[in-house]
Amino acid sequence: MRKDGIATREKILDGARDLVLKLGYSGMKVDHVLEHVGITKGAFFHHFKTKDELAKALLRRYASEDALIYAETRAQAEKLSDDPLQQILIFIRLFEDMFSEMTEPYPGCLLASYVYELQQFDDETRSLLHETFARWRTLLQEKFTLIIERYPPKNPVSASQLADGFTVVLEGAFILAKAMNDARMATEQLRLYRNYIELLFAAPEQMRAAA
């Protein structure tokens, strides 16, 4: 086995992510990572000065990976329709499809894992969490702003609340999926969320049942 610095660094990050989602950050000990990845202390602390530095790197990596998925899915939705409402509905459905193929519960969201140990982390990490969630909000908020202008909602709602709703449903579904060991939870709850958007903005005349 050849020595490849960036490769082992990636392996550490991947392994640590898996373990954090299973055990929480404090529950994940560095020795666990060493065993899981198949390296030694020397290798680990060569790539990360401290465990907390790994935590930050993990967070940044997850946030950027996730931003990529969001951006790609959004681009895909925008390619399939010019209407902002349809774009959102497609966007949600694409996420449904992502989770529908899974056979076991989604391992969870790293950010949520951090949130429930929030006081463990320093200000930098906390603001990084804040910014990431804020970015997710902004992404969908823009669409919902357009939608609200074009289609009068049946209830008084704000674009930011609807945008947060997506994240809320996802995060909540992840928790219930793990607790109930139900892999379909995320797909089902996203479908309910999509139904809500449909009902909220659909013209009273043309209300039709969704597939």
Partner DNA sequence: ATATTTCCGGACCGTTTGGTCTGTTTAGTG
Partner DNA sequence: CACTAAACAGACCAAACGGTCCGGAAATAT
The pair phi, psi for residue 203, each rounded to 5°, is -70, 140
What is the rounded radius of gyration, in angstroms, for the C-alpha atoms of the chain?
20
Sequence-distant (≥ 6) Cβ neighbours of residue 70 within 8 angstroms: 136, 139
Task: State how far the Cα of 125 lies from the Cα of 88, in Å rounded to an integer.
Answer: 30
In the DSSP assignment, the letter for residue 61 is H
> Which member of 14, 43, 207, 208 binds DNA (CB under 7 A)?
43
> Which member of 4, 72, 122, 149 binds DNA (CB under 7 A)?
4
Residue 90 Cβ vs a copy of itself, minimum distance, rounded to whole Å = 17
The verdict on 119 binding DNA (CB under 7 A) reads no
Q: What angle do CA 161, 150, 66 make, to 5 degrees?
A: 45
Residue 43 touches which member of DNA, a copy of itself, none, C-beta under 5-8 Å by kind: DNA
Residue 5 touches which member of DNA, a copy of itself, none, C-beta under 5-8 Å by kind: DNA
Specify the stretch interacting with a copy of itself by CB under 8 A; choose among 37-45, 54-62, 83-91, 187-195. Answer: 187-195
Specify the stretch interacting with DNA by CB under 7 A; choose among 46-54, 63-71, 93-101, 160-168. Answer: 46-54
Task: State how far the Cα of 26 lies from the Cα of 2, in Å rounded to an integer.
Answer: 32
> Which member of 81, 108, 145, 183 binds a copy of itself (CB under 8 A)?
108
